[in-house]
Amino acid sequence: LERLERGALTIVEALMKQGYEAYLVGGCVRDKLLSRKVKDYDIATSARPEQVKSAFARTIPTGLQHGTVTVVIEGQPYEVTTFRKEDAYEDHRRPAGVEYIDSLYEDLRRRDFTMNAMALDLEGRLIDPFHGRADMEQGILRCVGEAKERFEEDALRILRCIRFAAEYSMEVEGATWEALLAQVHLLKHIAMERVRMELERMIAGAAPVKAVKLLAASGALRYCKLPLLLADVSPDRLSEGLAQLHSPLERWAYMYLQLGAEAKAVEEELRNLTFSNHQVEEVRLIIAAARNVAGCLNGDPAGEVTASSYGESWKLAAVRFGKQAIRSLGAILAIDEDAAASAGIESGQARSLAGGSAVWLDEMPVGKTAELQINGGELISHIGKPAGPWVAPVLQHLLRAAALGTTPNSKEALLLEARRYDQLTERER
Ligand code: ATP
Ligand code: MG
């Protein structure tokens, strides 16, 4: 047995020794039956939270209002939740109040899908009153009980349904899908943060294109202010290559690139979806790089610092869009040969980035002005001219020169080069 599972069974056994019922439940049972890697083991028990707390040496009261106590075994946290029933649902969101019960059956009945409503006892016997195993074997995703009511109680289940159908490549059972279509409008009651978290998991998951297609087919995109850019075009334009990108944010960027969306519109959309500033910026820069990099691959506008190789021109691009965005662009070019052409990037140039030769991005001594050994103030006092619009272009020039290594990133060398460049451009003016 794996260490994680051993810890979970230790908890089940300890609770049973004290006379309570206890089982492994939910996602871990599903993933074990499918021989998938189990992310975390959840335990359901007839013991009340206070009783769980006193049964173990180390506990954390993580979700007492939901009946959940986190038990720590060998440094590993496990969620132990008292059998419960959820009382009145409000506004199509999960209820605040819970009612503790003594029956595992009732606890399984409140769960969303048959494959998520199974339990395993200490001896490894499956408790499966809603035939989740049979559904899984036939590749069917089905609500526990009356689907229409289940989506009405908690509209987030609509997105969970789509996520599980995509991730586990299952077919949504007929009545469940009908109910989902009828209730999709209720998604408007769900906080955007929770929606965004589900979407993130869909796009980061095993079948992002299928997830987007289901989102579109269900009407979720159009009716619920979910990604509007995605809703505006057919998801048929998305390539399955999407799933080959490792980084989730690269996937978002590539998705929007395929749909022809502009960086500005994407930025607005991701903000509405409550993505963090950092996430929005990363996606925006990848899109901006893909759209505009072709024009800047040939170096310095003043012709002072010119790239003499593909590598050097990508370094200059990294100065403009950031190293991370250029690396991501490389990942995209590597899985999609057409992407280079549509971005106006010459094929040799594209290959030099996509072929894993991004080592020269690591080699770059500096990637942004903040990394230069001088700042604007020092530059102004050294050149001896009042601050003005001349400063920014000089700093940009120094950044490019230092990035390519033609000027060392030291105070003296940079100031020398700054004086030379300033005089040169002065003369030109
Ligand atoms: P994963 O963690 O891989 O997404 P999971 O099934 O473990 O899958 P969790 O969100 O961790 O999903 O929830 C654990 C269990 O709690 C589920 O298997 C399901 O039985 C139940 N559950 C979670 N969310 C809901 C919900 N919105 N409605 C009903 N039951 C739910
Ligand atoms: Mg889980």
Residue nearest to atom 9 of ligand 1 (CA): 27
Domains of the chain: 1-129 (3.30.460.10), 139-226 (1.10.110.30), 263-363 (no CATH), 369-428 (1.10.246)
Ligand 1 binding pocket includes 27 (Cβ within 6 Å): yes
Whether residue 20 has pLDDT greater than 80 = yes
Residue nearest to atom 10 of ligand 1 (CA): 27
Ligand 1 binding pocket includes 111 (Cβ within 6 Å): yes
Average pLDDT over residues 2-29: 97
Assign 362 to helix, strand or coil. Answer: helix
Average pLDDT over residues 266-278: 96
Average pLDDT over residues 64-86: 94
Residues 6+ apart with CB under 8 A from 392: none
Residue of 84, 116, 161, 190 best suited for mutating to test ligand 1, as the one with most atoms within 8 Å of CB: 116
Say what percent of the chain tops pLDDT 70: 95
Q: Is 405 exposed, middle or buried (0-12, 13-18, 19+ CB in 10 A)?
A: middle
Whether residue 222 has pLDDT greater than 90 = no
How far is it, in rounded angstroms, from Cα 158 to Cα 301? 52
Residue nearest to atom 3 of ligand 1 (CA): 27
Residue 292 contacts residue 315 (beta carbons within 8 Å): no
The complex's ipTM?
Answer: 0.98
Alpha helix stretches (DSSP H) within 259-355: 263-272, 277-296, 310-321, 323-335, 337-342, 347-354
How far is it, in rounded angstroms, from Cα 66 to Cα 196? 23
Ligand 1 binding pocket includes 154 (Cβ within 6 Å): yes
Say what percent of the chain tops pLDDT 90: 73
Q: Which of 63-67, 137-141, 202-206 has the lowest mean pLDDT?
A: 63-67
Ligand 1 binding pocket includes 107 (Cβ within 6 Å): no
Residue nearest to atom 5 of ligand 1 (CA): 27
Residue nearest to atom 6 of ligand 1 (CA): 27
Ligand 1 binding pocket includes 132 (Cβ within 6 Å): no
Whether residue 301 has pLDDT greater than 60 = no
Of 245 and 227, more confident: 245
Average pLDDT over residues 258-267: 90
Q: Which ligand is nearest to the CA of 194?
A: 1
Average pLDDT over residues 226-250: 87
* CA of 111 relative to ligand 1 center, distance in Å: 7
E strand residue ranges, 103-154: 119-120, 126-127, 140-141
Write down the mean pLDDT value for the chain: 91
Ligand 1 binding pocket includes 157 (Cβ within 6 Å): yes
pLDDT of residue 298: 55
Q: Which of 27-41, 265-279, 297-311 has the lowest mean pLDDT?
A: 297-311
Residue 349 contacts residue 310 (beta carbons within 8 Å): yes
Residue 346 token pair: 């010459």
Whether residue 289 has pLDDT greater than 80 = yes
Measured in whole angstroms, the distance separating CA 356 from the mean position of its chain's CA atoms is 23
pLDDT of residue 96: 66
pLDDT of residue 250: 97
How far is it, in rounded angstroms, from Cα 196 to Cα 227? 10
Whether residue 86 has pLDDT greater than 80 = no
Q: Which ligand is nearest to the CA of 164?
A: 1
Calculate the alpha carbon distances from 373 to 175, 365, 408 in Å: 65, 11, 10
Q: Which of 173-177, 220-224, 301-305 has the lowest mean pLDDT?
A: 301-305
**pLDDT tens across 327-359, in order?**
999 999 999 988 888 888 888 888 888 877 677
pLDDT of residue 357: 63
Which of the four pLDDT bands, split at 50, 70 and 90, describes residue 307?
low
Average pLDDT over residues 2-23: 97
DSSP state letter for 106 = H
pLDDT of residue 206: 96
Ligand 1 binding pocket includes 336 (Cβ within 6 Å): no
For tokens 């990294």, name the residue: 318
Residue of 111, 113, 142, 183 best suited for mutating to test ligand 1, as the one with most atoms within 8 Å of CB: 111
| Residue 119: CB atoms within 10 Å | 25
pLDDT of residue 27: 97
pLDDT of residue 95: 66
Burial per residue of 9-32, b for 16 or more beta-carbon CB atoms within 10 angstroms, e otherwise: bebbebbbeeebbbbbbbbbbbbb
- 26 Cα nearest atom in ligand 1: 18
Whether residue 88 has pLDDT greater than 70 = no
Residue nearest to atom 1 of ligand 1 (CA): 27
Of 165, 173, 252, the residue nearest 214 (C-alpha)? 165
Assign 346 to helix, strand or coil. Answer: coil
pLDDT of residue 355: 78
Average pLDDT over residues 131-150: 98
